[in-house]
Amino acid sequence: MTKWTPTHEAPEPLEGPVVATITGGTILWFVLFLAQLPFYGWFEDHGHAWWVWTCLAGGGLGLIGVWYVRRRDAAIRRHTASNHS
């Protein structure tokens, strides 16, 4: 079996409003959790209670993601500022 090697350079990563994107996604997960919470009995009766807990887990992991990307952006700004000084 031969090893596959790329034939071209990988593109530069896209940068955008990362903090806003992760924050928006986190809010969406929590909104979905809260919207499903009144129907928890129905979800549980039909074997879909994991949907509710998946939304809560997504919101919790999103909070970690917000913390991470905010620290990352701050580190990028510090690095850029130190290189321009």
Q: How much is the pTM?
A: 0.78
Residue 9 lies in a domain: no
Alpha carbons 75 and 80: distance in angstroms, whole number: 9
Q: Are 25 and 62 in contact (CB under 8 A)?
A: yes
Alpha carbons 68 and 63: distance in angstroms, whole number: 9
Residue 47 lies in a domain: yes
Residue 10 lies in a domain: no
pLDDT tens track for 56-79:
999 999 999 999 999 999 999 999
Residue 6 lies in a domain: no
What crossing angle do the helices spanning 49-84 and 18-36 adopt, rounded to 10°? 160
Residue 35 lies in a domain: yes
Residue 8 lies in a domain: no
Alpha carbons 79 and 66: distance in angstroms, whole number: 20
Domain tally for the chain?
1
By residue range, what is the domain housing residue 45? 18-79
Residue 5 lies in a domain: no
- Tokens 């509710």 correspond to 52
pLDDT above 70: residue 52: yes
What three-state secondary structure class fits 46?
A: coil
